[in-house]
Structure 1
Amino acid sequence: MSSFISNVDQRTRLVGENRLELLLFRLGGAQLFAINVFKVQEVVKMPRLRQIPHSHGQVVGVTHWREQTIPVVDLSQAIGARPLGEDLERNLIVTEYNRTVQAFMTGPVDRIVNLNWEEVRPPPEGAGRAHFLTAITRVDDRLVEILDVERVLAEIATLNTSVSDQTLDKTLAQQARARGLKVLLAEDSATAAKQVRETLNDLGLELIVVRDGLKALNLLQEWVAQGKSVEEEIVMMITDAEMPEMDGYRLTSEIRKHPSLRSLHIVMHTSLSGRFNQAMVEKVGCDAFLSKFAPDELAAVVQARLGAFLSQ
């Protein structure tokens, strides 16, 4: 399994093609769950864990991995199901989210599948685990639930969304608020959208949120069809990378091809981090790439764009 995941070139070839690769696994039952392979560093058999006193209840210990000590989260317990018992086959999926490395304890790992984002749908409203899902799909006619790992991690460690006084430009924020300036956000995770909204509120900006790249593209094209100038509607767009229907890479590519949209300022804001960033930025043509979630860094990028917008 590790040999598949370590092939960076294979992963980056999917960028801009509206495709994704999912790692499928189980959590003590027959239901298949998934996370994006882009986030996965390695899959290993369950090692011996060291217990940490007073840790969060869903953190079952820490392990030593590649000269790092990383926390291990019982993913079944984290989404509200029963803890994974020692009588089950257990694995660790080592991941990198938001520039931090953590491991999730799961049941058996099934396989990696390559899909088109058009095959992925938002979770049904009112589903029992819906608040821990970003999407669902089907593989071999079986339902696969794609987990919102950002929500899982936010439940374990509360993230700061406030902009520091050293970063915040209060004059820009006052001007933005006075003019009612808006930003478009394409983001399928309700947790991530809430974090961005709170940060941009400090900057005096209103947020228009859509749940996937296709909805964002349709909204932009609708404004153009109505004879509206996109820059009169929004200062910029912030987009997640992974979304049902259309991902942020394809969304950016489609915007760059559209004569009335191609100048839109686009920031890719994703839990992907590290070695993939530059290749993605160059391939799809976004103006900036930020790893979630660092409110001061997001604020600095948005304020730079806001300053340029207000000086036009």
Structure 2
Amino acid sequence: MASIIETVDQRTNLVGQNRLELLLFNLNGAQIFGINVFKVCEVIRTPKLIRMPHAHPAVAGVAHIRGKTIAVLDLSLATTGKPVDSSGETSIIVTEYNRTTQGFVVRGVDRIVNLNWQDIMPPPSGASGSAYLTGVTRVDDRLVQIVDVEKVMAEVTRAERVAAASEQESRDDAIDRHVLVVDDSVVARKQVRDTLQQIGVQVSLAKNGEEALAMLDQWAGAPAGTPLESMLMVISDIEMPRMDGYTLTSEIRKRDNLKHLHVLLHTSLSGVFNGNMVKRVGADDFLAKFAADELSKKVTERLDAA
């Protein structure tokens, strides 16, 4: 199964086409889940795991994989409170995410599918079980739920508390400047918003690229008094339903009244390919999630340059 990502370099060709590839897997029962292939390093059979004392209940243990010791999380336990069905052989999806490597125990891995972000819908608001989802879609008439790994990791590692511990002095020149934050993860939006509010800038939030572009177009078409007039920058995730961050950037660059905007792509996707991708779609900068101090530095540099 590890061979399924050997052609990951070829998948960079999806950039700017508003497409993604999902690795499909299941946890318990027939429900199918998905994770972006760009996050996946390899898929292996579950080795012997070493339990860690006082670890979060969702941490199944640690494993030694290719010279690294990584934490392995039970994704089912973290999201539903029910451990993954281990009555048979299980697998570990090894991922690079938010600057770290970790594994997720799953019951079984299905295959990789190529989809358009337009086909990924936000999870139903308030629906049972949607708290840990960033999107839903259909593959072969089956419902596929895309897991909000960001939220899972934040709860397990207490990332929100760590991020909030970073203090940034407010700036007098920030109060009249505006930043549009685009991210499908509730956790990520909160992290970025809290960091920006410490600096003192005004913040607007959008859940995906399609929503963000509609907001920008509306502001650009208004006579006066919109956030666009004081827009310092757009901070956008890459993976989002309906329209991804790469496509959002490309659309911004196509519009004469928006193409001047400074776009920072801010994502949990790891890998050396991101820098080239950013340049290809015309973004100004790239930052891997989530380091509050580094994000603050990017924003204050923009304030200094303004």
TM-score range with shorter-chain normalisation?
over 0.9
- Distance, in Å, in 1 between the alignment partners of 2:223 and 2:280 is 30
How much does 1:71 deviate?
0.4
Q: How far 1:88 moved relative to its partner?
A: 3.1
CA distance in 2, matches of 1:288, 1:224: 23
TM-score between the two structures when normalised by the length of structure 2: 0.95
Alignment correspondent of 1:303: 300
Cα offset for 1:219? 1.1
Using the alignment, how far apart are the partners of 2:255 and 2:200 within structure 1?
Answer: 29
Give the distance between the partners of 1:164 and 1:151, measured in 2 at CA: 19
Asked whether the equivalents of residues 219 and 228 of structure 2 are also in contact (C-alpha less than 8 Å), the reply is: no
Q: Does 1:146 align with 2:121?
A: no
Partner of 1:276: 273
Instruction: Report Cα offsets for 1:24-51 as digits up to 9, x if no partner.
Output: 0000210000110110000011111112
Partner of 1:214: 210
Which residue of 1 is the match for residue 235 of structure 2?
Answer: 238
State the AA in 1 paired with 2:121.
Answer: R
What amino acid maps onto 2:44 in structure 1?
V
Q: What is the aligned length?
A: 303
Opposite residue 223 of structure 1, the aligned amino acid is: W
- Say whether 1:252 aligns with 2:254: no
Q: Is residue 2:146 matched to residue 1:176?
A: no
1:190-236 Cα offsets, whole Å, 9 max, x none, are: 01000001111111012101111011111111122224576414211
The one-letter code matched in structure 1 to 2:153 is L
Q: What pairs up with 1:72-83 in 2 under 5 angstroms?
A: 72-83=72-83
Which whole-Å deviations, capped at 9, do the CAs of 1:129-177 have from their partners, x for residues lacking one? 1110000000011100000000000010112224756xx464xx22213
Q: Does the CA-based 8 Å contact 1:22-1:113 persist in structure 2? A: yes
Once residues 146 and 51 of structure 2 are traced to their aligned partners in structure 1, the CA distance between those partners, rounded to angstroms, is 29
Take 1:29 and 1:152, find their aligned partners in 2: how far apart are those partners?
Answer: 20
Amino acid at match of 2:64: H
User: Contact (CA 8 Å) 1:150, 1:192: kept in 2 or not?
Assistant: yes
8 A Cα contact 2:278 2:285, kept in partner: yes
1:217-276 per-position Cα deviation (integer Å, ceiling 9, x unaligned): 111111222245764142110000011110000000111111111110000000012312
Where 2:196 maps in the other structure, the secondary structure is: helix
Measure, in 2, the Cα distance between the counterparts of 1:231 and 1:216. 12
Letter matched to residue 283 of structure 2: C
Q: Which of 161, 164, 168 is residue 163 of structure 2 equivalent to?
A: 161
Alignment of 1:62-211 (within 5 A): 62-159=62-159, 160-162=162-164, 164=166, 168=168, 170=170, 173-177=171-175, 179=176, 181-211=177-207
- Contact map agreement 1:161 1:198 (CA 8 A) in 2: no
Identity %: 52
Structure 1 CA distance, aligned partners of 2:304 and 2:164?
20
Q: Distance in 1 between matches of 2:138 and 2:93?
A: 22
Compute the TM-score of the two structures, normalised by the length of structure 1. Answer: 0.93
Deviation at 1:128, TM superposition (A): 1.4
Contact residue 176 and residue 205 of structure 1 kept, 8 A = yes
Partners of 1:9 and 1:62 lie apart in 2 by 29
Cα 1:43–1:77 change in 2 (3 A) is same
Contact kept, 8 Å, 1:169 with 1:303, in 2: the verdict is no
Q: Answer yes or no: is the 8 Å Cα contact 1:121–1:244 preserved in 2.
A: yes
What runs of 5+ residues in structure 2 fail to find an aligned partner? none
